[in-house]
Structure 1
Amino acid sequence: MSSPATHAGASRLAGRRAVRRWGLALALVASIAALYRLGGYGAASETRPASLAPRPDATSSLPRVEVVRPKAGGVERQTVQPGSVHAFETVDVYAMVSGYLKRQPVDIGTRVRKGDLLAEIDVPREAEAVAESAALLAQARARVTQAAAQLATAEADRTAAEAVAAQAEADIDRCVADRSLEEKAFDRIGHLVQRSAVEPRLLDEERHRLELTVAAEKAARISLRAARAKLQAATARIGQARADVAEAEAAVGVAEARVARAKVDLAYARIVAPFDGVITSRNYHPGAFISSAAAGGREPLLTVARTDLMRVVVRVPDRDVALAQPGDRATLVVDALGNRRFEGAVSRVGESEDHASRTMRVEIDLPNPDGALREGMYGRAVIALEPSTGRLSLPTACVLDRTGKGRGVVQLVREGKVERASVELGVDDGKLVEVVSGVGAGDQVVLRSGASLEPGTPVATRPAG
């Protein structure tokens, strides 16, 4: 038999257990009440009759899925690639003449206008060469004047020779006439002498006069030959004089070319900006000796970059090469400038792929009036390749499986149950994908689901936020 002390201990233990159970029950009730209030019913709902209390939703136990409806408008075909920024033009400025750097009024970062002086080289030999060539030019021109005077003299001599020759021809005509007259007189006197009408001595006298006329005719003919020889000589001297004039004029041309060359060499001592831009590097300071590029100078004096217009180089992958064309809209987003966007267009395409990378060079010209873009920057270049179509589009996350050849699988919710549909896909920009066929504008397409869904599974839907 148990003692009274044993019964008392058992009673105390049972009492403690009962208290513990009631404490747990009260804590459970308090938790349920708190959850009830968080559900939006408030304290007033606690006093509702049992018949008015909310009942559990019949769909609360179903898997919940987020759905979207296809949107009209299609997807614009774009390519997004890294783009590197370069100055539109960059020129290394070399010296064309050797000498000491006299002055250089610009430095790194100096903005220049086309034609501004960048550097001046001290070249005294080139200055002397200009003076020497100018003197040689004056000498050549004097020779032209002298040759022209000699030509005029030769032409005057030929005129005189022509006059002498003409006179000689006239003298021959006169002598021939005199001889003819004397011959007739001689014949007439001879007939008279035969008839003893005149003395024989008259015939001798007439013969003498006839011989004189013959001699005079011979002398005139000799004079004509001499005059014609002098005329030929005068004509030859004219040809020589004209050749001397042409030679002197050619010498003037050579001297003028030497003067021009000397002036060009001297002008090379002044180096000016080839275009509007900024100085990006300099390698010499005043007093340094500068070797010309022709003499082996390998280091440029300065580098000038044109920055009012920048050239963005993009490497377009093979899949987009056929669509990239000059004039396509392009945007450059530069992270270093707070994601600033620069709008432009494709200016030129390489028309040839690199065999190693299978990409094609595409260039975008971007105005840079404030100088924000700088050589070496990079950003994301977005090039619009094709405009959007009237097809439907879905988020790419809706496509579960891509079976290749432009097809995929999506999940639809119809009459509260999941169905799988095969769709034909179009352009995909990474966020949206075109749906050519397989779904309609009113279909509910599953975007996200917290559970694995099989065809025919009942689900509760809510619009994707």
Structure 2
Amino acid sequence: MNEPHHHSSLDISVGGEQGLDLPARGQAGKRARLAVIVVALLLAAGATRTIVSNLVGSHHLAAVTKQNAKQYVSVVQPKAAGADGRIVLPGTLRGYVEAPIYSRANGYVRKWYADIGAHVQQGQLLADIDTPEIDQELAQAQAQRDQAVSTLSLAKTSFDRAQQLRQRDAVSQQELDDRQGAFSQDQANLAAAEANMHRLAEMKSFQRIVAPITGIITQRNVDIGDLVNAGNGGAGHALFAIAQSDPLRLYIDVPQTYAQQVAVGQHVSVTEQEMPGVTFDGTVTRTAQAIDVATRTLQVEITLPNRDGKLLPGAYVQAALQTDSKGLLTVPGNTLLFRAEGPRLAVVDADGKIKLKPIEIAQDLGQSLEISHGLEASDRVVMNPSDSIADGDTVVVVPQKKASAGHEAPQRSAT
């Protein structure tokens, strides 16, 4: 009876303990759910922040990419070249007559008498050549001539005797004809021997190297003991070179654009960089009267007096020709584009699009170019264009206070 009562009190006590644990478990569950919610909110906030950051970054990148894709260019407008001006063309001074002197005989240089810078007269002895082989050949030729003279004398005597005997009918006509033929042949042999002897005598005279013109020795390429060949084929260069330095010749190549403006008798101002402020007056003496197909230029010869000898043959000079540049436009040299199709200029139209214009350059003035065809005065020409610029590219023109800075008037005067 007592045992069941004991179990009942046990159950009451256990039930009491379970009843006491239910509120604690409820609070723990709430805290767990709250923690899960907080974590979920934090994750959602992080994901939202990442998404927003990515969107902002992508928009910024797109804006930067679009900004960087724009090409910013500076432009300049062409300027008129002017109604009157001068073009400056380079050239090299040459002696009025330049004579390279070669040997006409084989031998050795025995002695030379004139060095570089020496003023020599026509016919003056420049060098002696020892020609032992020609001396021996000449002696042999003289002996052969003497032999031909003796043979001819004997043939003439025999022919004369045969003529006398034929008159008395002592010899046949055949024998007379044979002796006459022998006589004629010996005459020809003598003529050939004399011609050979005269040829060798002339060759021997070439052992004296003389000046063919009056002038200045500009080169001496031999020394005592040098072996020289006829025509100097062995050495490959002249023994001496002589030039007449008064007057001088100057050859320049005038662009086709100005070819019609060059006339014989026209005065030309010539300057040399080493003599600043000094101008020499030359005269156009002749032109080629034809345009060179390869360079599209006209070769012009200018005669330049040089009585005081200030100008030296071979010097680099610049010649200034008076020309009419009406109708030509100039642009800076840094606007030119070199393409396989030819020279081009990048021009910006009203819509900000690039158009590559083919042009014809009348004259390259160094820092600027004269354009004869392909350009309008109202065109906006891109300065320092990139090699990748192409037709149809969209560009942004950068405003400048002085868009033509560096685009100075072309220096057309030699002074």
The two structures have a TM-score, normalised by structure 2, of 0.53
Q: In the aligned structure 2, how far is the partner of 1:283 from the partner of 1:262? A: 26
Instruction: Quote how far apart the aligned CAs of 1:364 are.
Output: 0.9
Indicate whether 1:301 and 2:239 are aligned: yes
SS at match of 1:349: strand
Indicate whether 1:343 and 2:343 are aligned: no
8 Å CA contact retained: 2:219, 2:241: yes
Instruction: Quote how far apart the aligned CAs of 1:245 are.
Output: 2.1
Q: In the aligned structure 1, how far is the partner of 2:321 from the partner of 2:154? A: 74
Following superposition of structure 1 onto structure 2, how do residues 319-338 of structure 1 map, counting pairs within 5 Å? 319-338=257-276
8 Å CA contact retained: 1:283, 1:301: yes
Deviations 1:315-364 (A, max 9, x none): 21111112323333334234434544433422222233344543221111
In the alignment, what sits opposite 1:105? Answer: 113
SS at match of 1:336: coil
Indicate whether 1:159 and 2:167 are aligned: yes
Indicate whether 1:311 and 2:249 are aligned: yes
Indicate whether 1:240 and 2:178 are aligned: yes
Instruction: Quote how far apart the aligned CAs of 1:95 are.
Output: 2.5
Instruction: Quote how far apart the aligned CAs of 1:80 are.
Output: 4.0
Deviations 1:15-55 (A, max 9, x none): xxxxxxxxxxxxxxxxxxxxxxxxxxxxxxxxxxxxxxxxx
In the alignment, what sits opposite 1:275? Answer: 213
Q: In the aligned structure 1, how far is the partner of 2:271 from the partner of 2:280? A: 7
8 Å CA contact retained: 2:269, 2:320: yes
Deviations 1:50-85 (A, max 9, x none): xxxxxxxxxxxxxxxxxxxxxxxxx88865433321
In the alignment, what sits opposite 1:93? Answer: 101
Paired amino acid for 2:183 = V
Following superposition of structure 1 onto structure 2, how do residues 444-459 of structure 1 map, counting pairs within 5 Å? none
Instruction: Quote how far apart the aligned CAs of 1:130 are.
Output: 1.7
What are structure 2's unaligned runs of at least 5 residues? 1-82, 330-364, 366-415
Larger radius of gyration: 1
Change over 3 Å in CA distance of 1:367–1:260 after alignment to 2: farther
Paired amino acid for 2:152 = V
Paired amino acid for 2:206 = Y
In the alignment, what sits opposite 2:339? Answer: none
SS at match of 1:130: helix
Indicate whether 1:132 and 2:140 are aligned: yes
Q: In the aligned structure 2, how far is the partner of 1:331 from the partner of 1:365? A: 11
The two structures have a TM-score, normalised by structure 1, of 0.48
Instruction: Quote how far apart the aligned CAs of 1:384 are.
Output: 5.3
In the alignment, what sits opposite 1:215? Answer: none
Q: In the aligned structure 1, how far is the partner of 2:127 from the partner of 2:215? A: 15
In the alignment, what sits opposite 1:189? Answer: none
8 Å CA contact retained: 2:228, 2:234: no
Following superposition of structure 1 onto structure 2, how do residues 143-158 of structure 1 map, counting pairs within 5 Å? 143-158=151-166
Q: In the aligned structure 1, how far is the partner of 2:90 from the partner of 2:197? A: 54
* 1:374 equivalent among 288, 293, 312: 312
In the alignment, what sits opposite 2:149? Answer: 141
What's the Cα RMSD here?
3.3
What are structure 1's unaligned runs of at least 5 residues? 1-74, 162-229, 387-392, 397-429, 431-465
Report how many aligned residue pairs link the two structures. Answer: 249
In the alignment, what sits opposite 2:196? Answer: 258
In the alignment, what sits opposite 2:89? Answer: 81
Q: In the aligned structure 2, how far is the partner of 1:157 from the partner of 1:294? A: 59
Change over 3 Å in CA distance of 1:236–1:294 after alignment to 2: farther
Change over 3 Å in CA distance of 1:249–1:368 after alignment to 2: farther
SS at match of 1:308: coil
Deviations 1:370-420 (A, max 9, x none): 32221232334244579xxxxxx9xx9xxxxxxxxxxxxxxxxxxxxxxxx
Q: In the aligned structure 1, how far is the partner of 2:195 from the partner of 2:221? A: 34
Paired amino acid for 1:325 = A
Change over 3 Å in CA distance of 1:356–1:152 after alignment to 2: closer
Following superposition of structure 1 onto structure 2, how do residues 54-69 of structure 1 map, counting pairs within 5 Å? none
8 Å CA contact retained: 2:232, 2:238: no
How high is the sequence identity, in percent, across the aligned residues? 28
Instruction: Quote how far apart the aligned CAs of 1:114 are.
Output: 1.4
Structure ranking higher on relative contact order (CA contacts 8 Å, 6+ apart)? 1
Instruction: Quote how far apart the aligned CAs of 1:102 are.
Output: 0.4
Instruction: Quote how far apart the aligned CAs of 1:157 are.
Output: 0.7
